[in-house]
Amino acid sequence: MAHEQIEKLYEACYMRVFSYAMTLAGNQAQAEEVTQEAFFRAYSKQSSFRGEADEVTWLCAIVKNLCLDEKRRESRRAPMPEELPDQGKGVEQSAMDRDASFRIHLALHALEEPYREVFELRIFGELSFLDIGTIFGRTENWARVTYHRAKLRLQERMCTK
């Protein structure tokens, strides 16, 4: 893209891209910054634009990635509190929560393989379905179906107890 083309793109798409950034960022200053950075990256990496999608879609994908990167940076910077704040739970509610948690772990422990491992990798390991499928030497779709079946079996066990 020539300099004139990027200017025309900026004028034509700025508000749509900014609106999307505002939705993701939640504040105007950050949305403006992300929008400017998205246009800068689009200009500097224009050779990576394959033309398979609309320019606005490409710019919005850049905005989304920039916002995700910023959220990750913020989460790394946020200090962990020494103690969890009191959430207003009484002793009775805390005991019920512990009991429910224990029953969930019992049901999970009784779940047969590969359902238990797929469920644990997804929930506790926070792995993508693609990664889970790779671990088992299967497809991403297999991991999705197995996870869904594991959830259904856990729900059935929780309802019968």
Higher pLDDT, 155 or 34: 34
14 lies in a domain?
yes
Neighbours of 65 (CB within 10 A): 13
57 lies in a domain?
yes
38 lies in a domain?
yes
Task: Provide the CA 122 distance to its chain's centre, in angstroms.
Answer: 13
Its pTM stands at 0.45
List pLDDT tens digits, range 80-125: 555 555 556 667 776 677 777 777 778 877 888 889 888 888 887 7
Q: Do 8 and 63 share a structural domain? A: yes
* pLDDT at residue 2 is higher than 60: yes
Question: Please, which pLDDT band fits residue 3 given cuts at 50, 70 and 90?
Answer: confident
Record the tokens describing residue 67, joined without a space. 């916002």
Q: How many domains does the chain have?
A: 2
Distance between CA atoms of residues 85 and 82, nearest Å: 9
What's the Rg (C-alpha) of the chain?
Answer: 23
* pLDDT at residue 139 is higher than 90: yes
The range of the structural domain enclosing residue 118 comes to 108-160
